[in-house]
Chains A and B, each alone.
Chain A
Amino acid sequence: MNVAVTDRQPDTAAQSNLGFVDCDVHPFVKSPADFDPFLSQRWRDLRASIGARSRTTFAGAPNYPRMSPGVGQRMDSWPEGGGMPGSDLKMMREQLLDKFGVAYGMMMPLVGSGLGERNVEFGAAMCTAANDWQAQVWCDAEPRLKASVQVNTEYVEAAVKEIEKRAGDRRFAQVMIPPRGLEPLGRRRYWPILEACAANGFPIALHLGGASGHPSTGGGWPSFYHEEHPSYPQSKEALVTSLVIEGVFEHIPNLKVALVEGGFAWLPSLTWRLDKQYKRLRNEVPHLKKLPSEYIRDHIWVTTQPIEEPEQPEDLLTTMEWIGWDRIMFSTDYPHWDQDDPRYAIKVPIPAAEKQMLFRDNAMSFYGLT
């Protein structure tokens, strides 16, 4: 993970000749003041005085300390001229975009604090600023990078307005919502946001994280990052369950969702469990007209990182087959410590047609890119 892999040959037929689409790239600010040009005086003052207020314990550190400096950055991704990993476009080109011949990189900014801000007006303003910052600082300088519309889901009106404002701007490819909000995303009160996404042609990317204030397990707060990190798939399972069982896809039949940074091997088992228990408890959810597995097949896409590494590597392909090759999109998570290198991440050969789908075609079609 922080160690260079030298014990095997890269997959030489990797991505450079495919026009690889990376579904999870993290740009960062050079300084928090980078957002100031996009904020009104009121919010600049608030940011500089009280600052961001989420639902975590520490002023400037996550609840679970990471394993490398900078809240879990790749060790070799610190720009020589200073600043955080992900803040330097030249380095991002060298380490990711040019190196792997990336056709498009989907930006998922984990900076700006707007998504989980408790003061929702401030949160909405920070989301707008982060959106302007992505478009003007990154997309305009590097058209291969696509922006994600950030919204604060606890301020529904502002979120809908922000989505409508960005509709038609081709720099924005999707709407970004953190899964761990105050309530499961399928709950009725979030539907106007989900409707706005579909109505304006945006898929939704649900990148792990959020600051719900709820423990990362149903049994309370774990002690270790060693438990927090594997809890990410559990967020995704709850998210799929909520969206399907609440009837979101029955209500919004053209909504498309990508689950980012949760892996995917948990999905077949969840699908079987949902179908089985649905048959027992369907009277509770008469708004569902199809099996949960059918909604999942029609509406849910997964990204790969952090890709599961089965004890028998070929079991990964079996799992991918069960999910459906057309529903899986490759992602690196650059520049985080646990990012997946497209040359090494998948440890068994993938047939050419499936590789083309995984690294490029699925994402091109999901995002409507050309």
Chain B
Amino acid sequence: MTIPGPGAIDVDIHPALPGTHVLLPYMDDYWRAHLKMRGLERDNYNAAAFPPNAAINCRPDWRPAKGFPGSDFDTLKAQALDAFQPRYAICNVLHGGPAIFSEDLSAAFCRAINDWVAHEWLDRDSRLRASIVVPQHSPELAAAEIKRCAADPRFVQVLLWEMAEIPLGRRMNWPIYRAADAHDLPIGVHAGSSYRHPPTNLGWPSYYLEDYVSWSTGFAGVLNSLISEGVFTEFPRLKVVLLESGVTWLPAWMWRANKTWRGVRAEVPWLDKSPADYAREHVRLSIQPFDGPPDHAKLLKIIEEIGCEDMLMFSTDYPHWHFDGNDAIPDGLPDALVRKILSENALKTYSRLS
């Protein structure tokens, strides 16, 4: 259905770096000289997981005549902000900086990206908010970057890649969650892989279509990891937002995870409720791309099985192509749920938005 009027909160839009060179002004003298010496400002460090010319990664009527989709402020303002009239839209920059192998270089990229977002985007439109990108493979440096950016209230979340070097719940990642928790920031986990490992446990698929479909299975692994390791028992206030994850896989994941927990709970004795209940309390999902069934009755059944109206949050996933016109909400959902999806759930999830 068409988004009903202004005031929604769009939890997933994607401004893109026009090129690495735009980061140079946001780097200190050492790193600026370093990048130029190695010629890195001429390379493309965008994430390989989202080839910009793939049809799915930019809606045809949103595709710019030149440059990467999402890289021009005026275009994004017209297409994502003026068209949908959100109260807020959260910028999630999908860049490879967080996955650069050198922890120091990765941290330098992330600092520059965050400052670039603040100055080139947040300063230009009061509706924009942003996620903090962090050197994901260096939890200590990531925590430092969270602390640095948290001083700016327009940063409302910490952004992590779904598939990276180690499962997100692993204890060595906990400095990231500790820092996020200290500043009341949810963790946004975005679809995609840094390809440290094959995106499926069968090995490397041939086609991008397979990679794209595999993101959902990766999110199942993310939830299994966060819950099993005890992240939500250690950080009981923490919220995790799955971005571009799909939605309808959730009931089957809940049933499987609950059954495994009943048989294997001796291994994870710190869990005091079922994985599904941890998910309902701590996990939120953006609605695009909506992977719903072709008919409304099945959709309503899936919604009933998810069993929690607080979990889904509106997103356009701009400029990715999942719907046409302003039909950003799946058809057939009850009005009360649509209201929650549009803004109420996001306001409860992102304390910095209310």
The residues of A with any CB-CB pair to B shorter than 8 Å are 1, 67, 179-187, 212, 214-227, 229-231, 233-235, 237-239, 241-242, 245-246, 263, 265-266, 268-270, 272-274, 276-278, 280-281, 283-285, 306, 308-312, 315, 318-319, 322, 337-338
Q: Which residues of B contact A263 (CB under 8 A)?
A: 252, 256
A233 CA to B206 CA in the complex, in Å? 20
The answer to whether residues A218 and B210 also contact, given A184-B202, A212-B203, A269-B249 and a CB cut-off of 8 A, is no
A285 CA to B208 CA in the complex, in Å? 10
A215 CA to B199 CA in the complex, in Å? 9
The answer to whether residues A230 and B217 also contact, given A269-B248, A277-B212, A281-B56 and a CB cut-off of 8 A, is no
At the interface, yes or no: B311 with Cβ under 8 Å from chain A? no
A227-B221, A265-B251, A319-B252 provided; 4 other pairs, C-beta below 8 A?
A186-B206, A230-B253, A241-B214, A276-B291
Q: List 6 A-B contacts (CB under 8 A).
A: A184-B202, A220-B167, A273-B248, A277-B212, A310-B255, A319-B252
A185 CA to B206 CA in the complex, in Å? 11
At the interface, yes or no: B34 with Cβ under 8 Å from chain A? no
Contact A218 B259 (CB under 8 A): no
Contact B213 A230 (CB under 8 A): no
The answer to whether residues A187 and B268 also contact, given A218-B214, A272-B294 and a CB cut-off of 8 A, is no
List the 4 closest pairs (A to B, CB-CB), nearest first: A217-B221, A238-B200, A265-B252, A308-B255
Contact B201 A231 (CB under 8 A): yes
A270 shortest CB reach to chain B, Å: 7
A272 CA to B15 CA in the complex, in Å? 28
Q: Which residues of A contact B225 (CB under 8 A)?
A: 217, 219, 222-223, 227
B189 shortest CB reach to chain A, Å: 10
B87 shortest CB reach to chain A, Å: 28
Report the nearest A residue to B292, measured CB to CB. Answer: A272
The answer to whether residues A219 and B197 also contact, given A184-B203, A265-B252 and a CB cut-off of 8 A, is yes
Partner of B267, one of A180, A225, A245: A225
Contact A181 B263 (CB under 8 A): no
Q: Which residues of B contact A180 (CB under 8 A)?
A: 201-203
Q: In residues 203-255 of chain B, which contact A (Cβ within 8 Å)?
A: 203-210, 212-214, 216-218, 220-222, 224-225, 228-229, 246, 248-249, 251-255
The answer to whether residues A226 and B305 also contact, given A218-B214, A269-B252, A308-B252 and a CB cut-off of 8 A, is no
A199 CA to B294 CA in the complex, in Å? 36
Partner of A226, one of B209, B261, B292: B261
A310 CA to B200 CA in the complex, in Å? 25
Contact B166 A273 (CB under 8 A): no
The answer to whether residues A274 and B224 also contact, given A223-B229, A227-B167, A312-B305 and a CB cut-off of 8 A, is no
Q: For A227, A231, A241, which residue has the most chain B Cβ atoms within 10 angstroms?
A: A227
Q: Which residues of A contact B307 (CB under 8 A)?
A: 311
At the interface, yes or no: B165 with Cβ under 8 Å from chain A? yes
At the interface, yes or no: B276 with Cβ under 8 Å from chain A? yes
Contact A214 B221 (CB under 8 A): no
Contact B209 A212 (CB under 8 A): no
Contact B166 A280 (CB under 8 A): no
Contact A229 B264 (CB under 8 A): yes
Contact A218 B202 (CB under 8 A): no
Contact B222 A219 (CB under 8 A): yes
Report the nearest B residue to A338, measured CB to CB. Answer: B263
At the interface, yes or no: B66 with Cβ under 8 Å from chain A? no
0/1 string, B159-189, CB within 8 A of A gives 1: 0001111111110000000000000000000
A187 CA to B210 CA in the complex, in Å? 12
Q: Which residues of B contact A184 (CB under 8 A)?
A: 200, 202-206, 210
The answer to whether residues A281 and B264 also contact, given A222-B228, A234-B217, A265-B251 and a CB cut-off of 8 A, is no
Report the nearest B residue to A239, measured CB to CB. Answer: B202
At the interface, yes or no: B258 with Cβ under 8 Å from chain A? yes
A24 shortest CB reach to chain B, Å: 17
0/1 string, B257-276, CB within 8 A of A gives 1: 11111111111100000001
At the interface, yes or no: B116 with Cβ under 8 Å from chain A? no
Q: Which residues of B contact A187 (CB under 8 A)?
A: 206
Q: In residues 265-309 of chain B, which contact A (Cβ within 8 Å)?
A: 265-268, 276, 289, 291-294, 298, 301-302, 305, 307
Q: Which residues of A contact B205 (CB under 8 A)?
A: 184, 238, 241-242, 245
Q: For B169, B218, B224, B229, which residue has the most chain A Cβ atoms within 10 angstroms?
A: B224
Contact B305 A1 (CB under 8 A): no
Report the nearest A residue to B299, measured CB to CB. Answer: A272
At the interface, yes or no: B54 with Cβ under 8 Å from chain A? yes
A302 CA to B275 CA in the complex, in Å? 25
Q: Which residues of B contact A322 (CB under 8 A)?
A: 293, 298
Report the nearest A residue to B229, measured CB to CB. Answer: A223
The answer to whether residues A238 and B165 also contact, given A1-B262, A184-B205, A308-B259 and a CB cut-off of 8 A, is no
B292 shortest CB reach to chain A, Å: 6
Report the nearest A residue to B290, measured CB to CB. Answer: A276
At the interface, yes or no: B157 with Cβ under 8 Å from chain A? no
Contact A283 B201 (CB under 8 A): no
Partner of A315, one of B196, B199, B253, B305: B305
Report the nearest B residue to A178, measured CB to CB. Answer: B202
At the interface, yes or no: B198 with Cβ under 8 Å from chain A? yes
The answer to whether residues A276 and B298 also contact, given A1-B262, A212-B201 and a CB cut-off of 8 A, is no
Q: Which residues of B contact A337 (CB under 8 A)?
A: 263
Q: Which residues of B contact A215 (CB under 8 A)?
A: 197, 201
B9 shortest CB reach to chain A, Å: 24
A357 CA to B163 CA in the complex, in Å? 40
A43 CA to B257 CA in the complex, in Å? 42
Report the nearest B residue to A235, measured CB to CB. Answer: B201
